[in-house]
């Protein structure tokens, strides 16, 4: 038998080093454990057309309430002292104003249930002063969450709320305790959209009237669209 000597495999002695290097490379390819960074702190003041900051919103609402005795003279949806706030938004810039250095203003909209009046105050966020106050009747803005809750409370307590309570119990097996058991949405009732307005709803438009849309939490919708809640008169009417 002839003995044949085979040459060493090229680089065979380096195989361990290559494995180590490959392992290190693979380790480098795996991303580092994620690091969750804190959200940046919100600035006290926005710039240009930035949305209102929490601080600006709070400052605008305080300035609006403190002007012209509004806090003491107006009434909210529950009849308590102070107007019902509907919204607070960044106001549009005046003609000729623009850029990052333009004054920022907030528009705060309230409803005074004592006078059935929408009150809109424009607050200069740089000076904290109320620049304009507009009042209007027979104008109805979209409802606030507080108004929807109060409307649902009135409906539940009214004779027209009997079906709502029955449907809730059928869906859940429990008695309806209050608005907190429901997911609420809704809209302003506009009497000009129907042909025949019931006598107890003829003041809607001048009065603040809502139609409530109710849903069982994590459950079905309950049809309450036939009922209109007059928040100004604190009464409930039925359509049709």
As a whole number, mean pLDDT of residues 145-153 equals: 98
> According to the model, what pLDDT value does residue 18 have?
37
> According to the model, what pLDDT value does residue 131 have?
96
Measure the N-to-C terminal CA separation of the chain; round to a whole number of Å.
Answer: 112
3 state SS of 134: strand
> According to the model, what pLDDT value does residue 44 have?
82
Split at pLDDT 50, 70, 90, the class of 103 is confident
Residue 192 CB neighbour total at 10 angstroms: 8
The 10s digit of each residue's pLDDT in 58-100 is 999 999 999 989 999 999 999 999 999 999 999 998 877 766 6
As a whole number, mean pLDDT of residues 155-179 equals: 97
Residue 49 CB neighbour total at 10 angstroms: 12
> According to the model, what pLDDT value does residue 153 have?
98
As a whole number, mean pLDDT of residues 31-39 equals: 52
Split at pLDDT 50, 70, 90, the class of 48 is confident
Q: Residue 226: which of 162, 153, 170, 182 has the closest Cα? A: 162
What domains lie within the chain, and their CATH numbers? 54-136 (3.10.450.40), 145-238 (3.10.450)
Rounded to whole angstroms, how far apart are CA atoms 63 and 118? 17
Split at pLDDT 50, 70, 90, the class of 34 is low
Q: Tell me which DSSP letter residue 27 carries.
A: H
What global pTM score does this model have?
0.78
The 10s digit of each residue's pLDDT in 186-235 is 999 999 999 999 999 999 999 999 999 999 999 999 999 999 999 999 99
Q: Which residues contact 206 (CB under 8 A, 6 or more apart)?
A: 116, 137, 138, 232
Q: Is the pLDDT of residue 16 over 50?
A: no
């Amino acid at each position: 038998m002839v003995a044949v000597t085979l040459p060493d495999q090229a680089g065979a002695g380096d195989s361990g080093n290559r494995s180590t290097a490959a392992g290190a490379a693979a380790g480098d390819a795996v991303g580092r454990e994620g690091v969750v960074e804190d959200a940046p702190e919100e600035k006290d003041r926005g710039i240009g057309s930035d949305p209102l900051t929490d601080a600006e919103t709070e400052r605008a609402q305080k300035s609006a309430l403190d002007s012209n005795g509004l806090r003491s003279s107006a009434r909210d949806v529950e009849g308590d002292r102070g107007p019902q706030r509907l919204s607070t938004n960044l106001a549009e810039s005046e003609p000729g104003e623009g850029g990052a250095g333009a004054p920022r203003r907030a528009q705060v909209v309230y409803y005074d249930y004592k006078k059935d009046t929408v009150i809109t105050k424009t607050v200069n966020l740089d000076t904290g002063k109320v620049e304009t106050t507009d009042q209007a009747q027979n104008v109805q803005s979209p409802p606030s969450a507080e108004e929807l809750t109060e409307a649902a409370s009135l409906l539940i307590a009214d004779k027209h709320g009997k079906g709502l309570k029955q449907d809730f119990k059928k869906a859940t097996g429990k008695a309806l305790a209050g608005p907190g058991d429901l997911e609420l949405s809704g809209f302003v009732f506009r009497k000009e959209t129907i042909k025949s307005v019931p006598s107890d709803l003829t003041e809607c438009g001048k009065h603040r009237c809502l139609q409530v849309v109710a849903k069982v939490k994590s459950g079905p919708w309950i049809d309450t669209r036939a009922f209109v809640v007059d928040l100004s008169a604190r009464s409930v009417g039925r359509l049709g």
